[in-house]
Chains A and B, each alone.
Chain A
């Protein structure tokens, strides 16, 4: 088991980030399926919170529609009980979009441990994909920061190329990609130590 805290920069190795954070360094309560007993989670990454804006904006817009429909009297062709049911159905649809957006953001994570990197993806309600690669199989790490929001809010993609037939990893739109790359380089160089 490699020593995690072997380097002299221990002051920088304090846990940061809450469970809802997009960048959790040394998260205290994080565990994942198939984790080895001596495996330690070093980074837990999600997409930057600003990437949630599309579904939040859509949810807000959809929530406003019944009020607008009420003002325009669009539903008056229906009997009162069906008008009410239509509004309820509409809010349920909005709630479904919000729930799926929130769950997808919360559980689609990238994990870096002292042994490997793991990409957890939940694509639909019932389809998930979990891929991992050992730290010593990493060949090249590149990070890309682009676009107005990415540059302004400092988030981007970290592309990790692995050896042989193993799939490449793409940590998409994660906060602070330079620091993620730096941590991965340190782990690679020191065999799992920071």
Chain B
């Protein structure tokens, strides 16, 4: 009886640890999402300051990067 209790307690502690680890990973992925969002804003500021002819390409890339960051965050949220 006591062995079973210990096993359950160990499993519970393990799952709590991985839950905390999961939160840290999600925070890291969220920080990357914030970085991607700031990059979009930054590219808009930069392309307003200087136009060379590649503005639409750079803005498209920044938006695609933000979409990618959101997708990664959602996948992490579901699968971790």
Contacts and interface: CB of A to CB of B under 8 A. Distances in A.
B48 A125 contact: no
Nearest to B35: A96
Chain A interface, >50% SS class: mixed
Interface in A10-58: 19-20, 27, 29-33, 44
B3 interface: no
Given A82-B80, A92-B72, A33 B49 contact: yes
Contacts of B48: 33
A161 B70 CA distance: 47
A30 B39 contact: no
Interface residues of A, number: 29
Interface string B4-40: 0000000000000010010001001100100100110
Given A81-B79, A85-B76, A96-B32, A27 B42 contact: no
A163 interface: no
Interface string B43-80: 10110111111100010000001000100100010011
7 contacts: A31-B51, A32-B49, A33-B50, A82-B80, A92-B29, A103-B42, A111-B50
Given A33-B48, A106-B46, 16 more contacts: A29-B51, A30-B52, A32-B49, A32-B51, A82-B18, A82-B21, A85-B25, A85-B76, A88-B76, A92-B72, A103-B39, A109-B50, A122-B46, A125-B39, A126-B41, A128-B46
Interface of B: 18, 21, 25, 28-29, 32, 35, 38-39, 41-43, 45-46, 48-54, 58, 65, 69, 72, 76, 79-80
Interface of A: 19-20, 27, 29-33, 44, 79, 81-82, 85, 88-89, 92, 96, 99, 103, 106-107, 109, 111, 120, 122, 125-126, 128, 130
